[in-house]
Amino acid sequence: MSSSALERKVKTALDETRLLILGAQILFGFHFNAAFQKAFPEIALSSRYLHALAFFAMACTIGFLIAPSMQHRLMERGHASTRILHVTTRFAASALVLFALALGVDLYVVVEHRFGLFWGLSIGVGLGAAALLAWYGAEWMLRPSGRKEEKMPSQEETSLDVRVEQMLTEARVLIPGAQALFGFQLGVMLMEAFGQLPAASKAVHTAALCCIVVAIILLMAPAAFHRLTFGGQDSEEFYRLGSRLVVSGAVPLAAGIAADLGVAVERSLGSQLIAMAIAIVVGLVLAGLWFIYPLALRAKRARRR
């Protein structure tokens, strides 16, 4: 397989991740918004715990979908490789399992509340299973037997224009989650339920809101620099600047997601301890997937060389 073919495969993988995260952001926003709806306290306590579980699953889904982009930035430095291709496939497959779980749980919670246990289980389990079948079962059954993978170079020097294009694509992978969460964050502050939160939770939410705004500013900056400062021309200087902005934007994005997940869980379960524990775990998961693991891999590669 030619070098340009490997570059195209990596770009396609990143584009598919971008497509998946568009769906994930909608469900993640629903989880955050639902906890502040007037009817939410009427939901059974068991369903609220399930809602918190699904919320956690969606945060991890977003973490898995963004992780390949961060590895591509931090470890591969924007170059195409078969490793990043396989990593993207594995992370996307893991994300879809969690997505299907959250989808089924959310359907059960809302349908059970309105129509009873039977319909809640039937629709939640049925459509959750249908998602798994459509995303895994059908692909496994239709996969050609004895198919051989095309041989590709393990790594290659990627041209500047392709690296710039992929860096901008990765910014577009990160920014939908930030934009969607920002919209829900603003809306929640105008709800009556928000005024009932403890002062500490309001402060955490405001801090999370500021984190998401900073993330949006940083993630939109590469496009602004490319157009206004560099006149749309690709250069190594712009590429390095854009890469730093994309990686930097992921830091407040992770902080904002973890903090507001904690606020929403405290609102839904009424337990500050559980909310804090979930927020810390999600923060550690995102930090591990996006920063610690890629940097550890890069250090390991540097030692081998």
How confident is the model over 209-231, as pLDDT tens digits?
A: 999 999 999 999 999 999 999 98
Residue with tokens 């979908």: 65
Q: What is the pLDDT of residue 275?
A: 93
As a whole number, the mean pLDDT across the chain is: 88
Residue 2 has pLDDT above 50, yes or no: no
How confident is the model over 239-290, as pLDDT tens digits?
A: 999 999 999 999 999 999 999 999 999 998 988 999 999 999 999 999 999 9
- Say if CB 98 and CB 173 are below 8 A apart: no
> Which residue type sits at 24?
A
Separation of CA 123 from chain center: 26
**Hey, what are 290's tokens?**
């996006």
DSSP for 193-246, written as a single string: HHHTS-HHHHHHHHHHHHHHHHHHHHHHHHHHIIIIISTT---HHHHHHHHHHH
Alpha carbon distance 291, 144 (integer Å): 37
Residue 298 has pLDDT above 60, yes or no: yes
**Hey, what are 140's tokens?**
């496994």
> Which residue type sits at 103?
L
More confident residue, 46 or 138: 46
Residue 144 has pLDDT above 90, yes or no: no
**Hey, what are 293's tokens?**
């693991």
How confident is the model over 80-136, as pLDDT tens digits?
A: 888 888 899 899 999 999 999 999 999 999 999 999 999 999 999 999 999 999 888
The DSSP code for 155 is: B
List the one residue out of 254, 245, 256, 244 whose CA is nearest residue 218.
245
Domain ranges of the chain: 3-304
Q: What is the mean pLDDT of residues 17-32?
A: 83
- With pLDDT > 70 as the criterion, what percentage of the chain qualifies? 93
Give the sign of the dihedral formed by CA 107, CA 127, CA 91, CA 174: negative
Give the sign of the dihedral formed by CA 230, CA 234, CA 235, CA 240: positive
